[in-house]
Structure 1
Amino acid sequence: KQTLLPLLKEEVSSFIFPCKPAVQRPERQHMVMELLRCIPLLLFLLFVCGLDHFIFTVLSVIQNHSFIEYSYQASHHLSVNVMGTSLMAQLLRGTIGALNTSFESEMETSNLVCLPRPTGMTRQQYLNTCLPLGLLALLCLAQVYPFRLRRAIAAFYFPKREKARVLFLYNKLLRQRKNFLHLQRARVARQARQPPELGTVLLRWCRRHWPWLRRCLRQKCTLCGSAETPQHQPCPNPECFALYCESCW
């Protein structure tokens, strides 16, 4: 049977390696989608906090600038004088004299009871409000690691299904690699038929006449584009200047 290892550079990006601590490309796409789902919640939270601060500001302005205090003062004096010395005068003086009154009043009132008394949220309260959303974002970032165990759990309970999946993946990669090599061969042949550019010709001339410049003027793999290393293999055809890495070769 044909082996698939080592994987090609183009194939590595489509797989998830459980032992790698870094977030890999397929996981990154899923993680970004989960973070995008948190944006509506973030916008709603910002809207609610902004609305709360706006209402608090309006009520504070009303409380500070709508205070009115009333002050009322009044005085009243009533005096009835009955003149004379007769019996009737004395009787009226004793009866009507009780009406002699003196009254002074002073009243102060305000609309303090009717004014609103807003209480703004503190910084700690705002932080506690945003804390669940922050935890949700952290879960979106950290969920990629527990998700790597899904296949191991499924393989433990359904080993036959896992074997079928591995066989399907093996055949799929073989077909993709066969098509990939066919396309790359056609691309290399098409590039070989085209005349080289001036920069490419100058680079080859410098590398041929000054070999010590090869450390600076390194070529790339014709297929995957990886930088030149001692393991790269040149094309055996002396008229071809193609260079291939170990995996592509």
Structure 2
Amino acid sequence: MGISQLLLHVLLSALIVFLNYVLFYILFLVNRYGQVNVEVTGKSKINLKVRGGQMATLINTFINNINIENTYEASYNTTVCLPSPTPPDATDIPVLCSAYAAALLLVLLQAYGARYNRKICAFYYPEQEKERIAFLQKKILYNRKRRHTFIKQHVTSLKKQKITEQKMSVKQMLSAICPYFKVEKTVLKFCMNCGANQRSSCTLQSCKNMDCDGTYCLECFYDFERICPICRK
């Protein structure tokens, strides 16, 4: 686990804790201000009277004593339906902080743990450790050989490029136009690695091998450990 993943987990946990407190606060407000009590009371009375002829008199003899009187009362209370939230446990926050602090410490010490892991494996399996060291040595030598080959190819190609791009003087241009102005050709020396020539303030160092025409400035020559990358002398 890296630091980025750990920070992502910390942000996710903080968001969950925050939403937990927000939900508790919303339910607390509903419990406090959501009480509604509705009471409905009323009274009704029904009297039957029939007027008319003989038929009405006959009907009144049956319904004369009917007198309906009713009183009703209804109430609606939302208190029993309101939520009763429980405050979040505040002890969870120090526990989470301690856990993530320990995880951060383990992430920072992960590199050192990997080193001790290699040492422990080397202690119990020395033969595999020798094979690993031999493999790394061969790989380093192979990369170094490839680097010297690349430098040699780079210096050789740069030398050819500089020779073709070398500027001609006025006398050389006149000698190219008219043979009567032909003069002895002068070669401008330059560093085969960085391209610094004699006109600059740097000092050039030629290869000690007479058959090699490698030329380098002192800075590049010291970078090559005083060995010409072309002839390796």
Give the number of the structure whose alpha-carbon radius of gyration is greater. 2
- Which structure has more relative contact order (CA 8 Å, sep 6+)? It is 1
TM-score by length of 1: 0.47
TM-score by length of 2: 0.50
